[in-house]
Amino acid sequence: MSASDPMGTFREEVGELLDRLESALIRLEETLDDPELIDEAFRSLHTIKGSGGMLGLHELVSFTHTVEAAFALVRDGHEQISESLIELGLQAKDQIADIMASPELDDETRSEGDRILAQLRAVYPALESARPPHTGTSEATAGSPSIKPIGSADIGRADGDHAGTARGETTFRIQFAPKPRLFRVGANPILLLKELRELGETVIIGLMDRLPVLDELDPEACYLRWDILLTTEADENAVRDVFIFVEGEAEIFIEEIDSENLEESDIDYKRIGEILVSRGLVTPEEVQQAVNEKQYLGDVLVEKGLLTNEQIDAALQEQQYVRRRRETRQRAAAESQQSIKVDTEKLDALVNLVGEFVAEHATLSRISADLGDGRLTSVSERLEALIREVRDVAMDLHMVPVEMLFSTYRRLIRDLSRELGKEVHLELDGTDTEMDKNVIERLRDPMLHIIRNSLDHGIEQPEERVRAGKPREGTLRVAASYSGAHVLIRVSDDGAGINREAVWHKAVERGLLTGDEELEPHEIYDLICAPGFSTTETATNVSGRGVGLDVVRSSIEGLSGSIHIDSEEGSGTTINIRIPLTLAIVEGLLVRVSDQHYLVNLANVLECIDYSTVARHSSDRQLIEYRGSLLPFFDLGAYFSTDYRSTGDTSEKQLVVVSSDGRTVGLLVDEVYDTFQSVIKSLGRMYENVPGVSGAVILGDGRLALMLDVDRLTRTESTNSP
């Protein structure tokens, strides 16, 4: 996506806005009366509509406007939030995503939009009074596609379209004082106020200071007047057009009081006295006299009969409103200055280039060592320090919080729990933990499958939970935390847990066990990751089709990660996933076995030991005494069986002690070199399933070194010594 592609930029923006909308709606189900969440949902829809209008996406504008109008009714206090609105809001979010995916709507998509809007109007009949979108003059729209609203033709106009061009938001003060005979000419001021509300955010204050005593009241006369604050992208002419048919029947004053184009030094707005003077309600001299009395200004002016409480309140609301608008603008400006959006493809390219720098520097270091040139060595060392800094910056740019992954589960759990007839509460923890964006993207499907399994097989039906003495509502907790150079993700539920006996019998039935083995509980639980393993007798729409955790394990191991399962029958299950922070650039320990080089992730290395100095233990397995206990080890050359001939001479051999997920083993190698940084390259489809290897790196002299999969090696040794 290039900077000159406004539609690509808009699609990216809409994706983020829809995520925010969905998150706000899901949280609203828990706290129906949260005004901030209602406002967040409204603003997301409002921004989508406004930006879509500028790009001429009439289908999008037409549909989004009515949904936005429904939330505006709730936000402005005219209607109450309801579960129906939340449900329809989620359906509308999906509909907007469909419109963005294919702007040329088919009949099925348009019919779905009609249904959503019809149900919205049934819930909130006030939506029937909205007007069709207004796209400007006929000259401005000549040659453009005709508007085809999804739903009936009573959709209101898009903000800013009236002006015909995009502009920053401006806040107007509008004083609307109808003459008493206004009703007699057939005008309705309420409809005018509704039309103003369609232009943007409004604060409408009714003033009753002209209302006579009851005996003198004419039921056909209009005594009310209004002070209005309007923030809109439309210009002043568009605002005046609202009152075009009542200009002779009312006193109308429109004044710009705040704008995005103003360069205010702080958030402060005018003082109350200045606002009252600018409204023409009092003179500067009267304000000064009131100030001199050293009492609250408003109280003094009311006591003197110069103003009413309503007029003071209107000035206070203006002051607070403009200050809040400025705070929002300055906060947004600060955020925009602190961060910019960068295409992920450019970040990927940067990381790859840094990886190439690392590889080339390895070549330079080797040449420097061969030549023995002190000056070249000094340059190489300084260059290495700079490359490390660039690498760290590039990796930081590629890191994103796991909230990006976790937040998508709220909607999933909400919909699945309803489908399954279960009550489930989601808890998220450690959402600010950061990982490589590419790793997070590849985790989406495995995590999705784990969560679906937890809901389907783990958490029981409400009645079953009550009989077991549990709360009706089950809890699903997804947490992330740092663990060295890895991130540990835990998905746990308080459901029925795993029946070890059932797993055991199914494993024997499938030939995975003979029935004579003695396995630890965690080894039994790991059996459910075998291909096609399932204890569910009947398949559902959610899971139980024999395509399960074996696919999840393969996907996670493809990320050089690991998955382990803990469970307690009747209490729940926890699935632990351990994933590297990044897969792009790895710092490892370079070792040699015969003429083959291997790279061991430095995060897994505990220490290196001279093999000739360790005490071997007499056993069928290869064991050494290590820090007061026995440590299993194996010869890497024999393990990989690659034309390896052991000389029997162990005087020069080294043991590299590695650890993963609490399992520790030794790797016997011929030689240990220095640490080495490089980009890990995929082995390709033909070699991607080679056990014990997760990738390859290019050394400084052009030779290949294999990246060891330490987790798989330690797991293999824990069950079967090579």
pLDDT tens column, 436-481: 888 888 898 899 999 998 998 899 999 999 999 999 999 999 999 9
Q: Encoding tokens for residue 283?
A: 């003179």
Q: Determine the Cα–Cα distance for residues 153 and 114; give it in Å rounded to an integer.
A: 11
Tell me whether residue 708 is exposed, middle or buried, using C-beta atoms within 10 angstroms of its C-beta: 0 to 12, 13 to 18, 19 or more.
Answer: buried
Highest mean pLDDT: which range of 518-522, 596-600, 622-626, 639-643: 596-600
Q: What is the pLDDT of residue 163?
A: 36
Q: Are 543 and 536 in contact (CB under 8 A)?
A: yes
Provide the b/e sequence for 15-34 (b: ≥16 CB within 10 Å). Answer: eebbbbbbbbbbbbeeeeee
Query: Which string of b and e fits 435-445 if b means at least 16 CB within 10 Å?
Result: bbbbbbebbee
* Contact present, 609 and 654 (Cβ < 8 Å): yes
Homologous superfamily (CATH) for 6-135: HPT domain (1.20.120.160)
DSSP 3-state of 588: strand
Question: Confidence band (pLDDT; 50, 70, 90) for 263?
Answer: low
Residue 244's pLDDT band, with cuts at 50, 70 and 90, is confident
Q: What are the backbone dihedrals phi and psi of residue 250, each rounded to the nearest 5 degrees, phi first?
A: -160, 155
Residue 206, pLDDT > 50, answer yes
The answer, yes or no, to whether residue 344 has pLDDT greater than 60, is yes
- Residue 535 confidence (pLDDT): 57
Tracing tokens 């879509």 back to the chain, one arrives at: 52
Return d(Cα 521, Cα 304) in angstroms, integer. Answer: 85
Compute how many other C-beta atoms are within 10 angstroms of the C-beta atom of residue 137: 10
Output phi, psi for 537, to 5 deg: -80, -30
Task: Round to whole Å and give the CA distance between 221 and 479.
Answer: 65
For the range 27-34, what are the long-range contacts, defined as Cβ-Cβ under 8 Å and sequence gap of 24 or more?
27/410, 28/81, 28/86, 29/83, 29/86, 29/414, 32/81, 32/83, 33/81
- Residue for token pair 């109450």: 80
For the chain, percent of residues with pLDDT exceeding 90: 15
Instruction: Check residue 269 and give its pLDDT.
Output: 80
Give the pLDDT mean for 225-249: 88
pLDDT score at 250: 92
How many whole angstroms separate alpha carbon 454 and alpha carbon 227?
Answer: 56
Are 345 and 233 in contact by the 8 Å Cβ rule? The answer is no
Dist. CA 371–CA 92, nearest whole Å: 68
Q: Name the more confident of 576 and 339.
A: 576
pLDDT winner (highest mean) among 457-466, 495-504, 657-666? 457-466
Q: How confident is the model at residue 391 (pLDDT cuts 50, 70, 90)?
A: confident
DSSP state of 326: H
Closest CA to 153 of 127, 126, 119, 191: 127
Are 552 and 447 spatial neighbours (Cβ–Cβ below 8 Å)?
no
Taking the domain 402-580, which CATH number applies?
A: 3.30.565.10
Residue 146 binned pLDDT confidence (cut-offs 50, 70, 90): very low
End-to-end CA distance of the chain: 50
Average pLDDT over residues 67-90: 89
Residue 329 in tokens: 């603008």
Structure confidence at residue 279 (pLDDT): 87
pLDDT at 375 over 50: yes
Question: Topology of domain 585-719, per CATH?
Answer: OB fold (Dihydrolipoamide Acetyltransferase, E2P) (2.40.50)
Euclidean distance between CA atoms 124 and 116, whole angstroms:
12
With b meaning 16 or more CB within 10 Å and e meaning fewer, what string describes 262-285? Answer: eeeeeeebbebbebbbebebbeee
